[in-house]
Structures are given as C-alpha cells and as structure tokens.
Amino acid sequence: MKRWANTGTGPNPAAGERQQGRRGAAIRRNLPTAGLLLLLVACWELACRIFEIPPQQLPAPSAIGRAFFENFTILAVQARASLAAAGAGLLMALLLAVLLAVAMDRSPLIKRFLYPLLVISQTVPIYALAPLFLIWFGLGLFSKVVIVSLVCFFPLAVNLVEGLEQVDPEALELLRTMQAGPWLVFRSLQLPSVLPYFFSGLKIAVTYSVIGAVIGEWIGARAGLGVFMLRSLHAFKTAQVFAAIIAVVLLSLLLFKLTELLAWLAMPWNRAGRNNIEEE
Amino acid sequence: MKPKLLLENISATYTAGAEPLPVIDALSLHVAPGEFVSLLGPSGSGKSTLLKIAAGLIRPERGRVFLDGREVTGRPARVGYMPQQDLLFPWKTLLQNAALPLLAAGVPREAAYSRVMEMLPVFGLERFAHYYPNQLSGGMRQRAALLRTILVESGLLLLDEPFAALDALTRDKMRDWLLAIWEQFKRSVLFVTHSIDEAIYLSDRVCMISARPGRIILDQPITLPRPRTRQITNEPLFLEYKQKLFASLEE
C-alpha cells in the first residue's frame, strides 16, 4: 500500500511555494476587515467615554475585554457545556440527514413525499417550539440536543439531496459497464461527488449549532453559555453578557474553521495544482 | 466463426420529446473476433444510442444483442465502453482511475495497482501515475481513459468518438497510437466516428449509417495492408474508399 500512498501533491514541487504565497495573500485580503473592526471598536470606546454611557446600558470594549478575561474559566466551563449540546445535536442531525438523503436518492417515491415536508419543517419557527421540548425532554442536555439537531438538519439534508442528484449519470453508466457493485459505486463515485455539497451544508450547520444550543439554554438549562448570559443579564452585568457573546462568536468561528480544515483534508484532489503538461 | 458482437434487427425510439422519434430502424451489425469496425454517420444518426444498446445500457425497442453468442439484450455485460468524455474521476489519481475496472472485477487493490503500473509505460503515462486528471493534458487524459477501458478485460471495446474533443494534431497522434495498442492487444473494436478519414485509416470494415432513423446503408471492407502509416492516406485505394463512402452519404 505504501508504495502507492501518494497524496497527489508529490509530483508538484511548486505546490509548497504556492501554499506560502496563498497564505500571505489571505492575510493581505483580511487586512481591511481587521482594520475596519478595529476602527469601529475604537469609536465605540471613545463614545462610551465621551458621553459617559452607564456600563449597564452599554459597556465599553475595554470593560468587555476585562469581563472576558476575569470570567475566562467560567466561560470555558460553560462553553464546554454548550459545545457538548452543539456537537451532539450536530451528530444527530447528520445521522438523520444522511439516512433521509440516501432514502430519497434510492426511491423517487420517498422523495416526492418527504421533500416538501422537509421544506415545510423549516418554516416552523423552531425557537418558538423550544419551550415545548423543555416540557417533553426536561432541563437536561437532551432537550438542547433536539433543538440543535432540528436547526442543523435542514441545511445538511438539502445539500446532501442536491449532491446526490448531481452525480454524473454518464459516470454511473460507465461503472455499470464495468459491472461494479453498489459499494464500489458508492465509494468511488457517489461519496466523492457529494462531498463538496456536504461540506457547504456542514459549514452552515456548525454555525447554526452553537446558536441553537445557546437559545436552548436560554429557555432552560443547568449550564451553558446561554445560562451564563441570562444570569449576567438579570444581574445587570452587561459586560459579562457581551463577554459571553464573544465566546459564542469564537466558538462558532472555531467550528467553521475546523469544518474548512476537514474539507481540505477530505478532498486532496482540490489542492493539487494544475501542472499544464504539454502533449508529448 | 461466431461473431464477438452481434446486433440483430435493432430498433430504438427516442421518447423524451413531444412525439416519439425513431432513432434506429431494424439495424443489424456484427463484429468478428479481433476485428476493427467503424460506425460512420452524420450526427444524430443514433450511433451513440447503438453503442449504448451494445453495452446493455439501453434496452432496444426491438431486436437482440449477442455477445460471444450469448444473448445480453438490455443487460450491462462486461464490455470496454468508452464514452465521448473521458469521465476520469477528478478525485482519483490516474492510477486509481485506471484500476477501477480491476477493482470492479474483484481484483485485490494491491494486485490491481501493480497491474496498472505495468501497463502505464505502454500508454506513455508511467511518470504520471499519481497525478490527478486535471493535472493532465487532453491527450494524456484520453490515453488514461483508454487504458481504463482496456483493463475491463473484455474482448470487446466500444469506443464512442474517443478523440472528438482533441485538437487535430493530437488526434492524428492518438489514431496511430490506438492502432499500435489494438495490434498489441487484439481486441474486437466497434468505433463510432463521423470522420471518414479516421474510419478508413483505422478499420477492417466501415459501416455507414444513414441519417435518422439509422440504418446501415453501406458495409465496406477496408483491405488496406497493415500496419498502416500516414502515407496510406494518399494511396489510390484509400481515396477510392473515401469517394465511395462520400457517395453513399449523399444518397
């Protein structure tokens, strides 16, 4: 196996250099965004000081920063609880989405019945249903997992269904003339064709998952960033609310970047540069 | 001698449009073992459809398909089918792409890969085993696709205008190269093309198919000596065939 285990970047010596160049370009591309953000924060800080806005109403960025670092350990503990709900919900959504997408791909009848239901399910305001889940499933982790999975299910399922629809019929025919079995067809054609669609769905789903978990905790939970937010709000510690918001943003960004990394790892053919070999 | 492939009274109708459109009308055709037969005809004459029927991907409305004397109508039999696009999977390296038919036949991965590695030099691809298709040139991709087709290890190759997407110079090279490969592996070939020169240059026999609905209007044996080189295109016999095929197209 080892002899063939080339990931494809091997024969392309320029790839390393290009990688470095791309990273530099990425930093340069993000520079304006970072500058703008910094400018806004500076204006905010100045406004709070000049107009002497009460910190309960709108804390200055410096106060928020202080609150973030003072409560860092608590925030980390609460973030772990939220992350558990988000992760478990995401996993459940993924399982459900894959099962349904494969079923819909196999049977047009199932698709005709289920697909409209899927869309309708998305028009139901899940956050409004959340209190009901609390009644049904209790204050524990499970009610949060249900909320998260309902929120994340849709982007995953829709993208998977679409990805399976886009599998090249000519390629399927080609495999039939080789008399390839269903497992080989899945492994060599369907799965790789679906991956880009799957990852666009997953990118949306992971960001939804943290928000879903926080809202679930808001409505009722024993731990989590949502609980921390609510407690801080009731104690008029507005800076802590903002600190929790920062934690939510960081957590979502982290999951998003992790998904991008996963996509990069899962699809090595996308990063193999074009070599533009001439005819020999 | 039993023909490798026998198409008997094939009729097919295209039904996706508003009215049913007859594409092939009671067409019969055979390919003898080791024979190179070209199917020549105007576009829209149902050549690709016929090839798909021969590969068992489409069930004909009427008629039967025999492979080695066994009826296989409407069932995908193990044939080396190569469509117009190379259909190399972009997520697989050249090695992995070419090994697919072997894996489909149940050959263990390790053995399949070494088999492909042995074949790569024949196809001039030995340096590119670990390249992805989008890193290869058009001619190389076509050669890789043909390697994959040959590795189906069926005695029959069904090639649907495999060189149509290439530039003229590359196409010429690929023709010579296909002939060399064919002489080496001695498979039966049914080759779809709409180039008269290409058909004469490559084939033992050229079947001219009419415009829709497709019927064989001329079955012309080509007795030019082999191995053939490009000088042969200037021989009087070559030009005679060319005129004859042209004339049948005009009718």
Structural domain including A48 reads 15-52
Take residue B138 and report the two structure tokens written for it: 């058009």
Domain assignment of residue A2, yes or no: no
The average pLDDT across A214-241 equals: 90
* CA gap A89, A147 in Å, rounded: 7
> A121 and A44 in one domain?
no
Where a domain ends, among A7, A28, A52? Answer: A52
Over residues B144-190, the pLDDT tens digits come to 998 899 888 888 999 998 888 778 888 888 888 888 888 888 889 99
Over residues B83-108, the pLDDT tens digits come to 888 899 999 999 999 999 999 999 99
Our CA-based measurement puts residue A231 at a distance from the nearest CA of chain B, in whole angstroms, of 50
Residue A141: pLDDT band (50, 70, 90) is confident
The average pLDDT across B48-64 equals: 89
Domain assignment of residue B165, yes or no: no
Write the CATH number for B32.
3.40.50.300
Chain A contact present for B56, CB below 8 A: yes
| pLDDT at residue A3 greater than cutoff 60 | no
Residue A11: pLDDT band (50, 70, 90) is very low
Contacts of A171 in chain B (CB under 8 A): 87, 89
| From B132, B140, B170, residue closest to A272, measured CB to CB | B132
DSSP states of B74-118: TS--S-EEE-SS----TTS-HHHHHHHHHHHTT--HHHHHHHHHH
Contacts of B163 in chain A (CB under 8 A): none
Residue A12: pLDDT band (50, 70, 90) is very low
Write the CATH number for A178.
1.10.3720.10
Chain A contact present for B111, CB below 8 A: no
Q: How much of chain B, in percent, has pLDDT values that exceed 90?
A: 31
Over residues A78-126, the pLDDT tens digits come to 999 999 999 999 999 999 999 999 899 888 898 888 888 888 888 888 7
* CA gap A225, A151 in Å, rounded: 18
> A22 and A82 in one domain?
no
* CA gap A136, A261 in Å, rounded: 37
Query: Helix A72-106 to helix A238-266 angle, to the nearest 10 degrees?
Result: 40
Residues 121-150 on B with a CB inside 8 Å of A are 124, 127-132, 134-140
Give kind and range of the element (H or E) at residue B217.
strand B216-221
Contacts of A4 in chain B (CB under 8 A): 95, 113, 129-130
Residue A14: pLDDT band (50, 70, 90) is very low
| pLDDT at residue A16 greater than cutoff 60 | no
Domain assignment of residue A103, yes or no: yes
Residue A2: pLDDT band (50, 70, 90) is very low
Our CA-based measurement puts residue B245 at a distance from the nearest CA of chain A, in whole angstroms, of 31
